[in-house]
Structure 1
Amino acid sequence: MMTKIWKPTGLAMAAVAATAAVALMVPSAMAQRDPAYEAARAAGQVGEQPDGYLGYASSPTPAVRAIVDDINIKRKAAYTSGAPAGSTVEQFAFVTGCNLIAKTRPGEKYMAPDRSWKTRDASPPVRDSRCP
């Protein structure tokens, strides 16, 4: 079975990018309030993925897994309710993931397009070529 690869059109990307900021605010604001999440992020245990969800850059503890699962459930709900007409939840999550990776700070982990975990330095992160 062949998987269809999403190729964004200019109009679709513009619509998704314009509304991605809304999805960024909800999950990020919730996560920022949790000191355990901040500690896991600062320790490089978790990081942003291109699909718009958090991932594990190292083997998580049960507590870190619970935090990430909770955040990802909330992100999925935000993507589902915020996806603009003419785009899918996955497209919306992808554009949001592009933005979240761009907003990582030096020392934080993110997943590169080749699926390897990188640690952000002072230079821009390596992002998918389809990112707006």
Structure 2
Amino acid sequence: MMTKFWKPAGWAMAAIAATTAVAVAVPSAMAQRDPAYEAARSGGQIGEQPDGYLGFVSTPTPAVRDMVNDINIKRKAAYTSGAPAGSTIAQFAFITGCNLIAKTRPGEKYKAPDGRWLTRDGGEPVRDGNCP
């Protein structure tokens, strides 16, 4: 379980900035819906993690590993450049991770706060209690 590690004002600022990052800067859900990404995601090989990065649900092929590593490098760059004053890169990535997990589609995998990989159903995903 993630511990709340910034003041509420910083929390709101980070949440707003993270939403912007998800929509604009972070190469994630929309921009990455190419066929290879879509196949790995819908096939349950990869999923969103609470730390704001993609993770491997199962042992990946070299091509999937390279693709995810590239995406995660781009995410790290977006978190580094987009973290608002008063928050860390990790805090900003966590808030973005909360948002990315919330945006998963039914059938996609995501990592729950307890570390288990879950498959999104029609309901809300299980997210960290510190998610906005």
TM-score, length-scaled by structure 2? 0.92
CA distance in 2, matches of 1:88, 1:127: 20
For residues 15-94 of structure 1, the aligned pairs below 5 Å read 15-25=13-23, 26=25, 27-28=27-28, 29-32=30-33, 34-94=34-94
Q: Distance in 2 between matches of 1:105 and 1:18?
A: 22
Confirm or deny: 8 A CA contact 1:102 1:124 kept in the other structure. Answer: yes
- Conservation of the 8 A alpha-carbon contact between 1:109 and 1:119: yes
* Matching residue's letter, 1:30: A
Partners of 2:55 and 2:113 lie apart in 1 by 14
Q: Matched residue of 2:32: which SS?
A: helix
1:31 alignment partner, SS class: coil
Q: In 2, are the aligned partners of 1:15 and 1:84 still within 8 Å (CA)?
A: yes
2:100 aligned residue:
100
Does structure 2 retain, via aligned residues, the 8 Å contact 1:47–1:55?
Answer: yes
TM-superposed CA distance for 1:6, in Å, is 4.9
Structure 1 runs of 4+ with >3 Å offset: none
Pairwise CA distance, 1:30: 3.1
* Count of equivalent residues: 127
Q: Report the RMSD for the aligned CA atoms in angstroms.
A: 1.1
CA separation in 2, counterparts of 1:46 and 1:69? 11
- Please tell me whether the aligned partners of residues 22 and 82 of structure 1 are also in contact (alpha carbons under 8 angstroms): no
Distance 2:21 2:106 in 1: 23
Q: Structure 1 stretches of 5 or more lacking a match?
A: none
* Greater alpha carbon shift after TM alignment, 21-30 vs 63-72: 21-30
Q: CA deviation at 1:117?
A: 0.1
What TM-score does the superposition give when structure 1 sets the normalisation length? 0.92
Contact map agreement 1:98 1:127 (CA 8 A) in 2: yes
Q: Percent identity?
A: 66
Gaps of 5+ in 2: none
Q: Quick check: 1:23–1:75 contact (8 Å CA) kept in 2? A: no
1:113–1:127: 8 Å Cα contact kept in structure 2? yes
